[in-house]
């Protein structure tokens, strides 16, 4: 029971209870007003409701649209009658253009997924919203690339624990030996395994970086890895 896979039927039932949707697929939007006050959010919710309703009227494949408040954000749901024909649905970009007409806002839009995976769509929309706060405007999950994997890494407990173990080994070594293996490992990952770029970022001689990389391999017990392989490992460790 503890290792049971996600129950798609239960997810479908939950989305029907909350949003009244019964379509084949669903797309989620997580939206916040530019000004963080309750009045602005209420006003924006009414506008979003109208915009999504008009979107549903324009697309014959839309089964239902629904909008609600969740904490300091607005959640929008668009349910479709049929599965998407491609990995990125034709309606994806059009939905972004449509929601842009609601006025000044920041918004994350999920991929169109099966209704039984609606919980993933909700997580995608919220992750895209985080990126939207940095980049401004509207961000689609299907365009996130690296940020998509960072979001997945942050929310997967097994991944997060594995990465934390590696970081903790370096942190503990640094605390005991007054060294800088942790910052070197992170810089090496950010530099995609290039020693010269790592040295520049840390204001260190390349030979100092090479020595630290050797110690990092010892601490992590991966002495057999090449520097390129170590960089690949550390990019996973510091992804989130």
The predicted pLDDT at position 88 comes to 62
pLDDT band at 93 (very low <50, low <70, confident <90, very high): confident
pLDDT at position 82, please? 83
User: According to CATH, what is the number of the domain 157-237?
Assistant: 1.10.10.2840
Average pLDDT, the chain: 92
- Quickly state the pLDDT bin for 37 (edges 50, 70, 90): confident
Strongest mean pLDDT among 34-48, 131-145, 192-206? 192-206
pLDDT (average), residues 99-122: 94
- Average pLDDT of the segment spanning 183-205: 97
* 210-236 pLDDT per residue, tens: 999 999 999 999 999 999 999 999 999
Is pLDDT above 90 for 83?
no
Average pLDDT (182-194) is 98
Q: Which residue has the higher pLDDT, 92 or 97?
A: 97
State in words which class domain 8-144 has: alpha beta
Dihedral Cα 158, 88, 140, 121, nearest 10 deg: -50
Classified as helix, coil or strand, 130 is: helix
For the chain, give the percent of residues with pLDDT over 90.
76
Give CA–CA dist 91/78, Å, rounded.
11
User: Looking at residue 89, what is its pLDDT?
Assistant: 63
Q: Where are the domains of the chain?
A: 8-144, 157-237
The helix (run of H) or strand (run of E) holding residue 80 is strand 73-80
Compute the distance between CA of residue 27 and CA of residue 59 in angstroms, rounded to an integer: 14
Which long-range contacts link 128-132 to residues 24+ away (Cβ below 8 Å)?
128/30, 129/30, 129/31, 129/32, 129/73, 132/106, 132/107, 132/108
Rounded to an integer, the average pLDDT of 55-82 is: 93
**Banded model confidence at residue 102, pLDDT cuts 50, 70, 90:** very high
Mean pLDDT computed over 65-89:
86
């Amino acid at each position: 029971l503890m290792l049971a896979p996600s129950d798609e039927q239960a997810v479908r039932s939950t989305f029907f209870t909350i949003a009244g949707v019964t379509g084949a697929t669903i797309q989620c939007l997580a939206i916040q007003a530019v000004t963080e006050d309750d009045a602005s959010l209420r006003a924006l919710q009414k506008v979003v409701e109208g915009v999504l309703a008009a979107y549903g009227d324009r697309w014959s494949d839309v089964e239902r649209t629904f909008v609600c408040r969740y904490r300091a954000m607005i959640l929008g749901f668009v349910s479709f009658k049929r599965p998407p024909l491609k990995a990125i649905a034709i309606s994806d970009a059009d939905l972004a253009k449509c929601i842009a007409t609601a006025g000044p806002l920041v918004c994350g839009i999920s991929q169109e997924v099966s209704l039984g995976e609606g919980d993933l769509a909700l997580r995608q929309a919220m992750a895209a919203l985080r990126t939207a706060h940095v980049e401004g405007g509207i961000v689609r999950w299907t365009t996130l690339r690296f940020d998509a994997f960072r979001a997945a890494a942050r929310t997967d407990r097994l991944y997060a624990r594995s990465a934390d173990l590696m970081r903790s080994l370096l942190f503990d070594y640094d605390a005991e030996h007054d060294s800088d293996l942790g910052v070197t490992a992170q810089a090496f990952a950010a530099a995609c395994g290039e020693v010269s770029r790592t040295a520049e970022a840390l204001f260190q001689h390349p030979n100092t970086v090479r020595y630290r990389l050797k110690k990092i391999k010892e601490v992590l017990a991966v002495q057999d890895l090449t520097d390129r392989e170590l960089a690949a490992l550390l990019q996973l460790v510091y992804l989130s």
